[in-house]
Structure 1
Amino acid sequence: MARDSVDSFDAWGSWGSWGSWDEGGTPHPLALRRSGRSEQEPDRLPEVRELEVLGWEPAPGETLWAFLPYVWPPAYRTWIPDRSTHWAVETRLDGHGHVTDVEAAPLDDPDLRDLDREDEEVLRALGLPPRPPGRLWLLRPPGSLPTVGAVLDRLREAARERGVEATPSADFLALVRTELAALAAESGPAT
């Protein structure tokens, strides 16, 4: 795909919506059937499981990919309210290294903010706005690749081929956006 066609891409979602957190958007309709806090971890929520059956995958949690939902093709991304609970687990051992006690407690708000601090620092360094709080992002692979993991592998390979380091940088962000646009154009409108 020529660079000009990528820069002017507007089929199946304009570039304006490609550089956003979908601030005014609504969650996936399956998420609207549930409300309230759940004691489940994010990947165990029933709505996440239901969406996985429909081909959606949770966005990767590694800091390298903190920006990914921001630049993922809009037709291939969705979000649900985060009703999950993150747990702190404390394990006590005896002098021989045997477990004597295990306690689990939900993380409180300051600890939850700490979980996202590194990702937010990366986004700020890239000049991107902060993520809207309380969302779990789910993605579908654009193009002919079967999984989000395969898309990530292709992005890493494209970076290697072009001599771009796969780190949260402006160069890597630009490469990812261009490659995702090419994949979206290859696949046509999402269904």
Structure 2
Amino acid sequence: MSRDSRDAPGPWDAAGPADAAGSWDEDGPPHPLALRRTGRSEQEPDRLPEVRELEVLGWEPAPEELAWVFLPYVWPPADRTWIPDRSTHWAVDTRLDGHGHVTGVEATPLAEAELHDLDRETEELLDALGLPHRPPGRLWLLRPIGPYPAVGAFLDHLRSVARERGIEFRASPELLSLTRAELATLTGSGPP
């Protein structure tokens, strides 16, 4: 995919000086497309209009699997960005009759406390990896790198290499190290 001036790396992509260790872009602003929208949306994260617009430009939401909790942190700064998370996370209560038929469905937004509980597992995994916690309220998007046409293709490659090396597929120092090494090879930045 070719990149044009609307999609060229800019201050919203950079984490400052090259940081082989990683960064959450703590002081970096969100992608400019996110600045056109404000306020809470009742849509789920992947349904937000700004996410859809960025997908057209080649960005992909960072994977939600806990094994990749660190991925935006180590992804090359020019190929990662974030937008404010103005989505709503829903709790869905489904009622069934005695035959297993749905008799009612009620969806209610999760409260802040419940959202924090969801983040706790992520924070615990990052602590175990020796990484700082993610800044709150962000949705991360990544662009494919190297010869991989999609972020998922690169992750499939990592899973394959991990399997060959006997690395268990879970958020671990070994998977983090492998990911950093493979990214460094692809970006030509040398060993992490």
> TM-score range with shorter-chain normalisation?
0.7 to 0.9
Q: Which of 27, 32, 38 in structure 1 is aligned with 2:35?
A: 32
User: Which residue is equivalent to 2:67?
Assistant: 64
Quick check: 1:18–1:72 contact (8 Å CA) kept in 2? no
Quick check: 1:145–1:151 contact (8 Å CA) kept in 2? yes
Change (3 A) 1:175 1:15: farther
Counterparts of 1:92-171 in structure 2, within 5 Å, are: 92-171=95-174
**Larger RCO, structure (CA 8 Å, separation 6 or more):** 1
* Alpha-carbon distance in 1 for matches of 2:60, 2:145: 12
Look up the equivalent residue of 1:164 and give its one-letter code. Answer: I
User: Which residue is equivalent to 1:75?
Assistant: 78
Look up the equivalent residue of 1:72 and give its one-letter code. Answer: W
Deviation at 1:168, TM superposition (A): 1.4
- RMSD between aligned residues: 1.7
Residue aligned with 2:93, SS: strand
Quick check: 2:66–2:170 contact (8 Å CA) kept in 1? no
User: Which residue is equivalent to 1:19?
Assistant: 22
Residue aligned with 1:16, SS: coil
Unpaired runs of 5+ in structure 1? Answer: 1-11, 187-191
Deviation at 1:182, TM superposition (A): 1.5
Deviation at 1:14, TM superposition (A): 4.8
Quick check: 1:18–1:74 contact (8 Å CA) kept in 2? no
TM-score, normalization: structure 2?
Answer: 0.86
Change (3 A) 1:180 1:14: farther
* Alpha-carbon distance in 2 for matches of 1:65, 1:100: 37
Look up the equivalent residue of 1:67 and give its one-letter code. Answer: F
Unpaired runs of 5+ in structure 2? Answer: 1-14
* Alpha-carbon distance in 1 for matches of 2:184, 2:17: 11
* Alpha-carbon distance in 2 for matches of 1:163, 1:89: 38
Deviation at 1:13, TM superposition (A): 7.4
Change (3 A) 1:182 1:17: closer
Runs of 4+ that moved beyond 4 A: 12-15
**Would you say 1:179 and 2:182 are equivalent positions?**
yes
Look up the equivalent residue of 1:102 and give its one-letter code. Answer: V
| More displaced stretch, 103-112 vs 165-174 | 165-174
Quick check: 1:85–1:106 contact (8 Å CA) kept in 2? yes
Aligned residues: 175
* Alpha-carbon distance in 2 for matches of 1:167, 1:26: 30
Deviation at 1:152, TM superposition (A): 0.3
Look up the equivalent residue of 1:157 and give its one-letter code. Answer: S
Deviation at 1:185, TM superposition (A): 2.9
